[in-house]
Amino acid sequence: MCMKYEKGSRYALEDVSFTIDRGEFAFFVGSSGAGKSTLMKLIIRELRPTDGSLKIFGRDVTRLPRRRLPYLRRNIGMVFQDFRLMEDRSAFDNVAFAMMVTGSSRKEIRKRVPHVLGLVGLQDKFNVRVCDLSGGEQQRVGLARAIANSPAMIIADEPTGNLDPGTTLDIMNLLRSINLRGTTVLIATHNREIVDRFKKRVIYLENGRLVGDEQKGIYTHVH
């Protein structure tokens, strides 16, 4: 991708250019306001670049017709810092809903939802309402929802921002195991310890510009 995104009178992102291979695991790091969340929104076409191109799965999504957006987003699972779950519904219902809106059959949902909830360690919490789960368990539901449709890519925007260190490590290990099955994983974070611990590719943003890109990088290289 090579693009700019203008917000008001200034660029939120400017001349950002990089390529992510299928199956990669990459961290996007930088201080608050560096452009990480903007970049995530551009990838799922919640925002459109002001200039340049953005290719996802080989297609330039800047030119993608609106009717094709559901097909793009079906292949991208999103994990959010604030979980964005239906709190009065069960863990099962939250994951089932994500599959329902992409056209999965009831048979597929009945088979797939228990499987993905089991993958994230919630096999005994299917029928528990989200509001009765801990923060870590809620993020596991969010992760199960993200992988429910077997996406080619998972984007996680500060996925551990509201979690304690132990739970943070659990969630990161789950993301790593999902990546090992072949799913591309992109994580925007300011969690220095996690980035340094996992030693994956690190893409550094500063004031909307790409200032570094290292394989097996560490957060401390940010200026």
Residue 157 and residue 143 share a domain: no
5 has a pLDDT exceeding 80: no
pTM of the predicted model as reported, rounded to 2 decimal places: 0.89
pLDDT digits (tens, 9 = 90+) for 22-47: 999 999 998 888 889 889 888 988 88
131 is in which domain, residue-wise? 86-150
For residue 22, the one-letter residue type is R
Percent of the chain clearing pLDDT 90 (strictly above): 64
Q: What is the DSSP annotation of 12-27? A: EEEEEE----TT-EEE
Out of 99, 133, 150, pick the residue that ends a domain.
Answer: 150
Residue 67 and residue 24 share a domain: yes
* List of residues 6+ apart from 215 with CB closer than 8 A: 201
Out of 150, 172, 191, pick the residue that ends a domain.
Answer: 150
221 has a pLDDT exceeding 60: no
